[in-house]
C-alpha cells in the first residue's frame, strides 16, 4: 500500500511542476462580484490581523521554482493583497511532511526559533527532534497590546487546510505526551492555552482524505523518467539552486551543496521512510489517515472556521458518473475520472458512494466541505447576512468550473481576475469578523 502511495505522491509532484510551468487553453463561466478594499480603510478595522496563507502538498517558497508563486502563479497573490493594505505572510514548510511536522514548522516560521517536533513525537516517528531555525516573520504573535492578543487569520489550500487545523489544536490544547515526557524543555507549542488564531479558512482541503489509492495508480518508473525530463527542460535538474526543497531535514534528507537536484529527488523517494512510518503526507491525505486526524483535531470554540470547495466535473449523459469539465487541466483527468465513479463498501474502511463523486481533480467536494469521518465537528451553511458563529464550520459553497490547482495558480485570462477578486473578498470578510 505504501509503495503505491509513494507512486501517487511522485505523480502529484510531476503534475505540480508541469501545471505551474505550462498553461492550458481552459475557460470558466463564473462572474465576479468583488468589493475592492482600499488600504486606507483597513487601518480603521480592529480585526485587521495578519493573514497567513499556508500551501499544500508540494508547496514551495518565493525563492523556489524560479519565482513562480504558489499563491497566484505569475502574479503574486500576496503582493496583490499587500497593495490592498493587508499584512500577508506566505510561509514555506515541509512539502511532503506530515501535518504534525508542518504545524511545528509553521509555528517556528511565524514566531521565530528552531523547529521542535516534540520529544515524544520524534521518538515515535523515528526522526530528529529539531529542525531548521527561523528568524520569525511575526515574533510579536501571541503578545498583548492594550489587553488584546495579537492573533492571525489562517488560509490553507489543500493539505494546508489540515495543517492549520493541527496548529490550532496544538496551540489551544497542547499535547499531553509532550508535557509528560519532557516537562523541563517542552516547546511552548505543546503547552496549550494559546488563543492566538482568530479564523481558519480552508480552500479545496481534503478533510476526509482523497479516494485515490492503490487501485488507481500503476505508474512506476515512468513517472520518475517523465518528471526528470520535464524538470530538465525547466532548468531544475543539475541546477546550483535546488529550486524545489522538500524540507525533510528531520529525516536526514537535506540537499547537499554539491548534489544535483535529480540525485536529491531520487534520494528522497528511494528512502526507507516510505516503508517505516505514518508520519508523512501520504498517510494524512489518505481516507483512513484523515479519519484518524479528525478524531483528535477538533474545532476550537473561540475560532471562526470557514471552508470552500472547488468543483470541475459534471454528470455524464450515459451514466450517473461524474466526468471532468472541458476546462480541467489534462494532467488531472485520470484522477478526476477515477474519483467520479469509485466506490468502496469494504467493512472497517471509509465508505465511499456517489456523494464522493463530484471533485476538482484531486479532492471531492464532500471532503472539502469539512471533516465528517471520525469527526463530531458541526458544519453549517455560511450566511453573510447573519452573525457568523465560532466553533463551527461555516461552509461557503463551491467555486465552479475551477480545478484543484487553478484556484491558486490563477493563470487563465478568462477567470484570472475573478479568482483574484475572490481572495480579496475573502480577506475583506475576515477583517469584518466580530472580535
pLDDT category at 234 given cuts 50, 70, 90 is very low
User: What value does the mean pLDDT take over residues 274-287?
Assistant: 88
Domain boundaries, the chain: 2-431
Give the per-residue pLDDT at 277. 85
Give the per-residue pLDDT at 288. 94
Give yes or no for residue 201 having a pLDDT over 90. Answer: yes
Active site annotation includes 279? no
The order of strands in the sheet holding 88-89 is: 88-89, 51-54, 152-157, 197-203, 304-311, 393-400, 379-381
Mean pLDDT computed over every residue of the chain:
85
CB 310 within 8 A of CB 372: no
Residue-wise pLDDT tens digits, 328-354:
988 889 889 999 999 999 999 999 999
Of 360, 367, 375, 411, the active-site residue reads 360
Of 127, 207, 404, 416, the active-site residue reads 404
Give yes or no for residue 39 having a pLDDT over 60. Answer: no
User: What value does the mean pLDDT take over residues 64-71?
Assistant: 80
Give the per-residue pLDDT at 24. 43
Of 76, 158, 217, 336, the active-site residue reads 158
Active site annotation includes 360? yes
Give the per-residue pLDDT at 41. 56
* Integer Rg of the chain from CA: 21
Active site annotation includes 404? yes
Give the per-residue pLDDT at 246. 86
Give yes or no for residue 293 having a pLDDT over 60. Answer: yes
Q: What's the CATH number of domain 2-431, 3.30.70.260, 3.40.50.1820, 1.25.40.10, 3.40.640.10?
A: 3.40.50.1820
Percent of the chain with pLDDT over 70: 81
In this structure, the number of other CB atoms found within 10 A of the CB of residue 1 comes to: 11
Cα angle vertex 360, ends 17, 405, to 5°? 25
Amino acid at each position: 500500500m505504501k509503495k503505491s502511495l509513494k507512486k501517487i505522491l511522485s505523480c502529484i509532484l510531476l503534475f505540480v511542476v508541469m501545471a505551474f510551468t505550462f498553461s492550458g487553453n481552459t475557460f470558466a463561466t463564473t462572474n465576479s462580484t468583488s468589493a475592492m478594499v482600499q488600504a486606507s480603510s483597513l487601518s480603521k478595522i480592529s480585526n485587521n490581523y495578519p493573514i497567513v496563507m499556508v500551501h499544500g502538498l508540494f508547496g514551495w517558497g518565493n525563492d523556489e521554482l524560479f519565482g513562480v508563486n504558489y499563491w497566484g502563479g505569475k502574479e503574486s497573490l500576496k503582493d496583490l493583497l499587500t497593495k490592498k493594505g493587508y499584512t500577508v505572510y506566505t510561509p514555506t514548510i515541509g512539502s511532503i511532511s506530515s501535518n504534525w511536522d508542518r504545524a511545528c514548522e509553521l509555528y517556528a516560521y511565524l514566531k521565530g526559533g528552531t523547529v521542535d517536533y516534540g520529544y515524544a513525537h520524534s521518538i515515535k516517528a523515528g526522526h530528529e527532534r529539531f529542525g531548521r531555525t527561523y528568524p520569525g516573520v511575526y515574533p510579536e504573535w501571541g503578545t498583548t497590546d492594550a489587553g488584546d492578543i495579537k492573533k492571525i487569520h489562517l488560509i490553507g489550500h489543500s493539505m494546508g487546510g489540515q495543517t492549520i487545523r493541527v496548529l490550532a489544536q496544538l496551540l489551544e490544547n497542547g499535547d499531553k505526551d509532550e508535557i509528560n515526557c519532557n516537562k523541563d524543555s517542552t516547546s511552548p507549542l505543546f503547552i496549550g492555552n494559546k488563543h492566538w488564531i482568530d479564523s481558519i479558512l480552508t480552500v479545496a482541503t481534503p478533510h476526509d482524505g482523497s479516494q485515490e489509492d492503490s487501485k488507481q495508480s500503476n505508474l512506476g518508473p515512468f513517472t520518475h523518467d517523465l518528471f526528470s525530463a520535464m524538470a530538465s527542460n525547466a532548468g531544475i535538474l543539475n541546477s546550483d539552486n535546488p529550486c524545489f526543497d522538500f524540507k525533510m531535514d528531520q529525516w536526514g534528507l537535506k540537499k547537499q551543496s554539491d548534489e544535483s537536484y535529480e540525485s536529491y529527488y531520487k534520494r528522497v523517494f528511494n528512502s526507507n521512510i516510505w516503508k517505516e512510518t505514518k508520519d508523512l503526507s501520504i498517510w494524512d491525505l489518505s481516507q483512513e489517515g484523515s479519519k484518524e486526524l479528525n478524531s483528535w483535531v477538533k474545532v476550537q470554540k473561540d475560532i471562526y472556521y470557514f471552508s470552500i470547495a472547488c468543483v470541475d466535473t459534471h454528470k455524464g449523459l450515459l451514466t450517473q458518473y461524474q466526468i471532468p469539465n472541458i476546462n480541467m487541466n489534462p494532467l488531472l483527468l485520470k484522477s478526476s475520472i477515477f474519483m467520479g465513479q469509485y466506490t468502496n463498501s469494504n467493512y472497517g474502511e471509509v465508505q465511499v458512494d456517489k456523494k464522493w463523486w463530484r471533485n476538482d481533480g484531486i479532492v471531492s467536494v464532500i471532503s472539502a466541505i469539512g471533516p465528517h469521518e471520525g469527526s463530531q465537528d458541526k458544519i453549517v451553511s455560511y450566511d453573510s447576512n447573519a452573525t457568523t458563529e465560532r466553533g463551527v464550520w461555516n461552509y461557503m459553497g463551491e467555486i465552479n468550473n475551477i480545478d484543484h490547482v487553478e484556484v491558486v495558480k490563477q493563470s487563465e485570462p478568462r477567470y484570472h481576475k475573478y479568482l483574484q477578486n475572490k481572495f480579496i473578498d475573502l480577506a475583506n470578510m475576515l477583517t469584518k469578523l466580530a472580535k
